């Protein structure tokens, strides 16, 4: 006698009955690129369907997101001016600070997560303070504190440091607590690999480094053990949510972490993942809807509680159509 596992796959109702993985719009976060200036709604060439918006052009987009049931946003800023210290990143009247205030005033029900980093704001494109070609860890922490505090003062609900400096979660937790923001969570980019999957994002956010790369601070994908040290450090330093980035190529890491920690786990399905699907779909090589939904289930199955995805708007529409 052999085991007839197909018995529980005979109909959609049967399959729905026994499934143990699901997701809803509550699990998804939608990234938005906010550019300083006016009258800007500019499609990103390498990320079809994604745009850079000036604040005055956000209203229609936010109305659509609200109607689709998207509740959480991750904001990235593109300033008009950059300098070697990324001063616009912690300017209280900077692009992200103004965007937060606008969204909280006119669309108060959105949960706002802000990216805390310097790469979009520095003239050299690196994620911190430089001395020659060397990125200085501890000097950068001071600026990250300023960025996080300015975001929270503007109304951000969660801050998400993506720089990969050692000790940044502790530094940010300390500055927030000192200023009575003890209840503001930190979503740390705990495990962020030096990845080729970020290519389209760097066009979207004007954040490509002018020289060199980020391999001295982002993680080496050839190493299969150091991710747990990063996770343990961030937990000890006070991270409330742990993020893994990129998404699909690192589901083994998500699974390993979710098996060992109890904190919520986020996964960032990054620009390269999005753009490859869009390109393959345009060429008729894949069924975009089915691929995206399958990928989301894969991330949930691996242990992700939160999925940051550029597909969130499309997914919301497909769910309304009954596609699962």
Distance between CA atoms of 299 and 57, rounded to whole angstroms?
Answer: 32
For 167: left if phi > 0, alpha if psi spans -120 to 50, otherwise beta; the answer is left
Distance between CA atoms of 188 and 123, rounded to whole angstroms?
Answer: 24
Copy the structure tokens of residue 98. 């103004």
CA torsion 93-96-101-107 (nearest 10°) is 160
Distance of CA 311 to the CA centre of its chain: 12
For 40: left if phi > 0, alpha if psi spans -120 to 50, otherwise beta; the answer is beta
Distance between CA atoms of 310 and 287, rounded to whole angstroms?
Answer: 17
Distance between CA atoms of 32 and 34, rounded to whole angstroms?
Answer: 6
Spot the catalytic one: 82, 146, 245, 313.
245
Short-list 44, 25, 26, CA closest to 34 = 44
Spot the catalytic one: 146, 192, 278, 313.
192
Asked if 83 and 40 touch (Cβ cutoff 8 Å), the reply is: no
Q: What is the DSSP letter of 159?
A: E
Specify which residues 42 forms β-bridges with. Answer: 52
Angle between helices 288-302 and 271-282 (to 10 degrees): 150
Distance between CA atoms of 200 and 101, rounded to whole angstroms?
Answer: 28
φ/ψ of residue 52, rounded to 5: -100, 130
Helices (H), 160-238: 168-178, 199-204, 226-237
Active site residue 66: no
Active site residue 59: no
What amino acid positions are annotated as catalytic residues? 192, 245
């Amino acid at each position: 006698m052999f085991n007839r596992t197909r018995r529980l796959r005979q109909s959609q109702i049967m399959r729905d009955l026994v499934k143990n993985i699901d997701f809803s719009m509550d699990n998804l976060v939608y990234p938005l690129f906010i550019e300083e200036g006016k009258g800007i709604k500019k499609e990103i060439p390498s990320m079809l369907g994604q745009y850079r918006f000036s604040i005055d052009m956000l209203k229609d987009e936010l109305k659509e997101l609200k109607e689709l049931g998207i509740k959480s946003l991750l904001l990235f800023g593109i300033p008009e001016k950059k300098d070697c210290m990324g001063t616009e990143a912690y300017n209280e009247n900077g692009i992200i600070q103004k965007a937060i205030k606008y969204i909280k005033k006119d669309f108060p029900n959105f949960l706002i997560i802000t990216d805390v980093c310097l790469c979009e704001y520095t003239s050299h494109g690196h994620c911190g303070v430089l001395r020659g070609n060397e990125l200085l860890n501890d000097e950068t922490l001071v600026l990250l504190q300023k960025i996080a505090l300015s975001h929270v003062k503007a109304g951000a609900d969660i801050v998400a440091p993506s720089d990969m400096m050692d000790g940044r979660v502790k530094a940010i937790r300390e500055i927030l607590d000192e200023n009575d923001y003890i209840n503001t969570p930190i979503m740390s980019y705990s495990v962020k690999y030096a990845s080729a999957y970020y290519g389209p994002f760097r066009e979207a956010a004007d954040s490509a480094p002018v020289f060199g790369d980020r391999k001295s601070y982002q993680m080496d994908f050839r190493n299969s053990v150091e991710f747990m040290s990063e996770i343990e450090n961030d937990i000890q330093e006070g991270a409330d949510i742990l993020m893994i980035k990129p998404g699909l190529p690192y589901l083994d890491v998500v699974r390993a972490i979710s098996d060992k920690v109890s904190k919520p786990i986020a996964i960032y399905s990054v620009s390269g993942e999005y753009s490859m699907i869009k390109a393959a779909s345009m060429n008729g090589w894949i069924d975009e809807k089915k691929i995206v939904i399958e990928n989301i289930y894969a991330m949930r199955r691996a242990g992700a509680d939160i999925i940051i995805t550029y597909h969130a708007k499309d997914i919301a529409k497909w769910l309304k159509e009954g596609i699962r």
